[in-house]
Amino acid sequence: MNSSYQPLFQPIRLRRGAELKNRIIMAPMTHFSSHPDGTVSDDEIRYYERRAGGVSMVITACVFVSPSGKGFPGEFGAERDERIEGLSRLASAIKRQGAKAVLQIFHGGRACAPDLVPNRDVVSASDVAEEKEGAPTPRPLTEPEIVQIVRDFGEATRRAIEAGFDGVELHGANGYLIQQFYSPYTNKRNDRFGGSRENRLTFPLMIVDEVTRVVKEHAKNEFLIGYRFSPEEAHEQGLKMEDTNVLIDALKSKALDYLHVSATDYRTPPKSGSDQSTSRIALIVMRAGNDLPVIGVGSIKTPDDAIDAQSSTGCALIALGREIIIEPDWVQKVERGDEHAIATELSLSDQERLVVPTPLWNAITHTPGWFPIAMSSNA
């Protein structure tokens, strides 16, 4: 191995005792490849198994915790006990390859399509629709419904434990329900769940506390709990870095193992706040402090990118998203000094070789600009 890449291969022990063998994580990415009834498919198991051999941790695509929370076609669920068998097969496939298996749990809120939820009843913190054509206006959740969804996150965590996962990640990013409650743009409530920033934090922190309680009751100390968030929102009335700083301060006091930043480029500076001379991830790392590791992500393709992200932001862990789809052997090639053979583009003939399920492959090849696609095969 090139000695300059050695920092990527240092083990790290997390807050609750789990040890990761290196600093490279497979990022959670929607793959649209579960069965229509929300059960795990063989194709997605093969997809994860193909990519779990080098990374220290695989964070799955998000699973819905409530019937009202299914956000995408081909998404798998953790909303009832019947899911445990399929989830167990997935966890086992990942762990057989030597990676920690972490289940990302979420509720889509207003981002859910009406035909994916019971009675077409799309819910959120408030009746603020997404800014896209045809988006439904969600119904504001009642307080008993909010409390039930908090319990649903806890029950999904119990199922992850029983299925053999090594941890869960709370999906508080990308405009889904947890973020909808914290954002002043999507939360217009005037009860204890809305209004002030402190009140808007109530729902996210209730979920953290419920998940922590379930883990303490049902799992060993080493069971991981992570929290993913988006540091800023595009809308003028949305989340700013000041809001994110308050969120981080609140999460630092919880029994979390890591924070995971959702970003498209690790170098991006903040849009808001006084310090725009450095990246958002670097500011988040400084705020989180030394004892709460941060996963950095966004436009990391080569090991040089990963080292630069690590050194320039201070993040303890590096997540590969699109790149681990393009190059499932990324970690192994760096480790054996074969980094020049790492692929950074897809060929249209690569699907079978890369073990990419057809729904995800179709999304990749029909979404211009999402993935870099070469004009000829490099298989």
Q: Over the stretch 174-194, which tens digit does the pLDDT of each residue have? A: 999 999 999 999 999 999 999
Contact 211, 226 (CB under 8 A): no
Measured distance CA(306)–CA(19) in Å, rounded: 20
Residue type, 105: I
| Amino acid letter, residue 355 | V
pLDDT for res 377: 46
Q: For the chain, how big is the Rg over CA atoms in Å?
A: 20
Question: What pLDDT score was predicted for residue 80?
Answer: 97
- Averaged pLDDT for residues 342-358: 96
Please give the Cα distance from 171 to 259 (Å, whole number).
11
Q: Is 26 helix (H, G, I), strand (E, B) or coil?
A: strand
The tokens for 291 are 């004892």
Give the pLDDT band (50/70/90) at residue 274: low
**What are the residues whose beta carbons fall under 8 Å from the beta carbon of 304, sequence distance 6 or more?**
none
User: 3-365 architecture in CATH?
Assistant: Alpha-Beta Barrel (3.20)
Residue 266 is classified by DSSP as: T
Place of tokens 């889904």: 176
Residue with tokens 């083990």: 11
- pLDDT at residue 379 greater than cutoff 50: no
229-243 burial, b at 16+ Cβ within 10 Å, e below that, comes to bbbbbeeeebbbbeb
Is the predicted pLDDT of residue 376 greater than 70, yes or no? no
Q: Is the model's pLDDT at 163 over the cut of 60? A: yes
Model pLDDT, residue 378: 45
Q: CB-based contacts of 241: which residues, under 8 Å, 6+ apart?
A: 231, 232, 270, 271, 272, 273, 280, 283
Flag whether pLDDT at 302 surpasses 90.
Answer: yes
Strands 100-106 and 57-64: parallel
Q: Which of 176, 182, 185, 258 does the annotation list as catalytic? A: 176
Quick: pLDDT tens for 211-234: 999 999 999 879 999 999 999 999
pLDDT band at 290 (very low <50, low <70, confident <90, very high): confident
* pLDDT higher than 50, residue 241: yes
Angle, CA of 353, 356 and 362, to the nearest 5°: 120
* 123 beta partners: 139
Q: Is 176 a catalytic residue?
A: yes
Distance CA 78, CA 70 (A): 10
**Which pLDDT value is given to residue 41?**
97
Domain ranges of the chain: 3-365
